[in-house]
């Protein structure tokens, strides 16, 4: 335990807190900008077991903000989960690190969360976050939510109500709204900016990821009173920070934590990927889009998405489709986007690759 001496000197941690950290298991979903900072911090803090899941691979455009990776990882196009695990094992060989180069979805979410003590958000889309939220509430497991895009970051720690009042935080009189108490529904495709369309300031994910790691450590040591249950936002360029207290904002009609409807965990509200036979293409069907239809009650804004994509790629917009060639690895994938958010990604048959590109350039 000598390597953690400086951490154990903190009265909020001490010997007992360090033992609790060492006996804890954390699941980090997404190991890009946020996730690599979170994983690095927890490994150095001495978490006993760390599970990492990420569906993407390392590219040079990642290196200005994804601190666990280097040029050799990008040159080899290593899966981020595997590249991260290699680095983390060199940082701390005494802990158990599991890497999963896979898509996080309803088919594997429960299995990945098995035996965990805290769920930590390193993702870049609301669909994955709502899936994590469903998992948190259904299993009675704390969830640390974070996001970073442009110069704006957000953070929220969720200590979910279990309705059984047998969780340690509820026994301490502490509970917080879930993510769907705060954001009732995921924004429609194209409504939210992504790092690939508006950029991201490199130090921002370091700041937000470090804050997420702090919240996870509070959960591990069981310091429920000091877990931050406010929605925090920070614009690091404009020097503006906001904090909205949510402790008493439990939504009595929340579909998730009140009505126990786990739409994302059951797969009812998740994006589907369908292989198109003979086309070397994948069709992406986001929530609310129906296969074979291109009409919708609230169509996405092609012009907004086109502005994000230009001038990096040529975009063609008609009343019926948006078309663009998206750079990926050593080639391109041709995107055809329909008004309801449905898309055909031609040039790949890999579901994870197709969903990654959709999330990057359109947004989930």
Catalytic residue set: 195
The dihedral over CA atoms of 77, 79, 83, 89, expressed in degrees to the nearest 10, equals -160
Residues 6+ apart with CB under 8 A from 306: 315, 317, 322, 324
Residue of 92, 134, 74 lying closest to 7 (CA atoms): 92
Residue 154: partners with Cβ closer than 8 Å, 6 or more residues away: 145, 146, 147, 148, 208, 231, 232, 233, 234
- H helices of the chain, in order, are 5-8, 14-22, 33-45, 71-76, 80-91, 109-113, 126-139, 168-171, 179-182, 195-198, 203-221, 302-309, 351-361
Question: How many other CB atoms sit within 10 Å of the CB of residue 166?
Answer: 9
CB 8 within 8 A of CB 18: yes
Provide the strand spans (E) within 165-301.
Answer: 230-235, 240-245, 272-276, 281-285
Strand-pair partners of 324: 315, 335
What is the three-class DSSP state of 329? coil
Count Cβ neighbours within 10 Å for each residue of 210-234 and write b for 16 or more, e otherwise: ebbbbbbbbbbbbebeebbbebbbb
Helices (H) and strands (E) in the chain, counts: 13, 14
For residue 226 the two structure tokens come to: 């000091």
Non-local (6+) Cβ contacts of 61 within 8 A are: none
Pick the closest to residue 356 from 322, 328, 315, 320 (CA basis). Answer: 328
């Amino acid at each position: 335990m000598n390597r953690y001496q400086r951490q154990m000197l903190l009265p909020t941690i001490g010997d007992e807190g360090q033992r609790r950290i060492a006996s804890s298991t954390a699941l980090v979903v997404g190991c890009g900008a946020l996730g690599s900072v979170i994983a690095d911090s927890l490994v150095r803090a001495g978490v006993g077991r760390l599970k990492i899941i990420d569906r993407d691979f390392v590219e040079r455009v990642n290196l200005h903000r994804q601190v666990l990776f280097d040029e050799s990882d990008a040159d080899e196009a290593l899966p981020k989960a595997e590249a991260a695990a290699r680095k983390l094992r060199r940082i701390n060989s005494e802990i158990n690190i599991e890497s999963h180069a896979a898509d996080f979805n309803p088919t594997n979410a429960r299995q990945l969360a098995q035996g965990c003590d805290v769920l930590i958000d390193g993702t870049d889309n609301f669909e994955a976050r709502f899936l994590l939220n469903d998992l948190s509430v259904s299993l009675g497991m704390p969830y640390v939510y974070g996001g970073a895009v442009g110069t704006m970051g957000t953070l929220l720690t969720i200590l979910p109500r279990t309705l059984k009042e047998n969780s340690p935080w509820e026994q301490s009189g502490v509970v917080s709204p879930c993510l769907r108490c705060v954001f009732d529904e995921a924004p429609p495709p194209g409504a939210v900016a992504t790092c690939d369309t508006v950029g991201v300031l490199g130090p921002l994910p370091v700041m937000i990821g470090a804050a997420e790691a702090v919240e996870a450590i509070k959960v591990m040591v069981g310091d429920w009173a000091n877990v931050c249950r406010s929605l925090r936002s920070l614009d690091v360029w404009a020097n503006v920070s906001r904090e909205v207290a949510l402790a008493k904002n439990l939504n009595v009609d929340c579909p998730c934590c009140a009505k126990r409807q786990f739409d994302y965990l059951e797969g009812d509200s998740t994006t589907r990927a369908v292989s198109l036979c003979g086309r070397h293409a994948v069709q992406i069907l986001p929530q609310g889009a129906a296969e074979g239809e291109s009409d919708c009650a609230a169509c996405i804004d092609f012009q907004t998405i086109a502005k994000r994509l230009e001038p990096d790629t040529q975009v063609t917009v008609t009343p019926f489709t948006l078309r663009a060639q998206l750079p990926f690895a050593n080639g391109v994938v041709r995107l055809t986007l329909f008004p309801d958010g449905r898309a055909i990604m031609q040039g790949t048959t890999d579901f994870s690759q197709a969903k990654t590109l959709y999330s990057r350039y359109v947004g989930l």
